[in-house]
Amino acid sequence: MNVTLNKLLPVLLLMSVLTVNAAEVLVAVAANFSAPAQKIATSFEQDTGHRAVISIGSTGKFYTQIRNGAPFHVFLAADDETPTRLAKEGQAVEGTQFTYAIGKLVLWSKQAQLVDDRGEILKKGNFAHIAIADPKLAPYGIAAMQVLSKMGLDKQLSPKFVWGENISQTFLYVDSNATEVGFVALSQVLQEGRIGQGSVWIVPISMYESLKQNAVLLNTGKNNPAAESFMKYLQTSKAQQIIKTYGYSF
């Protein structure tokens, strides 16, 4: 009995130390990065003992919430401008911002062969509705409008627009067949690193401004060891490998 307790004692002590040192970080995550963020959070907890609580939403809404005192510690935006603005406004820690991923925009339909690999369907207009994330709230919506403007189709197709509050809602519109097509993030249509169901046009990056997605430590996360640890973890090879499987680059 004593031998068993002696063997267990070091393990119990280690567990006690981990429990005492473990902390929680509240992370606001742009909707397009939902899937990799959840995987990274799981890996982060396994490797560090800290817990990352992920909240998903639009970059624009998170900006407003943070300005109004939302208790997030870390912000993973879908652009680089919003974290910069928060730092200038005194809501985030200067010098902590970095690009954790560069996103890619795609035109997607759940229907096989409906979307061609050059986006010609947009010129033909043989669809009733097209889902787009609200450009007032979502950087991917801004990118989508830049593509349509470059093609000279923004006014022509405007009667067919269905606005999503964020890229997740936009994806759901297409996934539920509420719209035949929609501009979404490449990460949303990948399954195990490959295009899943439906048909996709991967929009050339020359047609929209780079979707540099930046992370920043918010003021509320200054003295939170889990927040600082999460920011560092995002830049590890393990986290970056997860990010790459969802079609992002750096």
Domain tally for the chain?
2
Q: Is residue 153 part of a domain?
A: yes
Q: Is residue 250 part of a domain?
A: no
* H-helix segments, the chain: 2-21, 34-48, 59-67, 81-88, 120-124, 139-150, 154-157, 167-175, 186-189, 225-233, 237-244
Determine the pLDDT at residue 8. Answer: 52
Judge if 181 and 109 occupy the same domain: yes
Q: Yes or no: say if 214 and 100 are a contact pair by the CB < 8 Å rule.
A: yes
pTM as predicted: 0.90
Statement to judge: residues 6 and 45 lie in one domain: yes
User: Does residue 82 fall inside a structural domain?
Assistant: yes
* Domain encompassing residue 118: 105-202
**Sheet arrangement for strand 51-57:** 51-57, 24-30, 74-76, 211-217, 98-103
Asked if residue 41 belongs to a domain, the reply is: yes
Q: Which of 111, 100, 42 is nearest to 75 (CA)?
A: 100
| pLDDT of res. 117 | 94
Q: Tens place of pLDDT for every residue, the chain, 250 residues?
A: 444 545 554 444 444 444 446 899 999 999 999 999 999 999 999 999 999 999 999 999 999 999 999 999 999 999 999 999 999 999 999 999 999 999 999 999 999 999 999 999 999 999 999 999 999 999 999 999 999 999 999 999 999 999 999 999 999 999 999 999 999 999 999 987 888 889 999 999 999 999 999 999 999 999 999 999 999 999 999 999 999 999 999 9
Based on the fold, state whether residues 195 and 216 are members of the same structural domain: no
The pLDDT value recorded for residue 192 is 73
End-to-end CA distance of the chain: 55
Q: What is the distance of C-alpha 99 from the center of its chain?
A: 12
DSSP label at 221? G
Burial (CB < 10 A; 0-12, 13-18, 19+), residue 51, is middle
The CATH number assigned to the domain holding 150 equals: 3.40.190.10
Please tell me whether residues 66 and 9 are part of one structural domain: yes
Domain co-membership, 231 together with 195: no
Q: Coil, strand or helix: which one is 152?
A: coil
Give the span between the Cα atoms of 57 and 30, in whole angstroms.
5
Do 167 and 225 fall within a single domain?
Answer: no
Residues 141 and 179 in one domain: yes
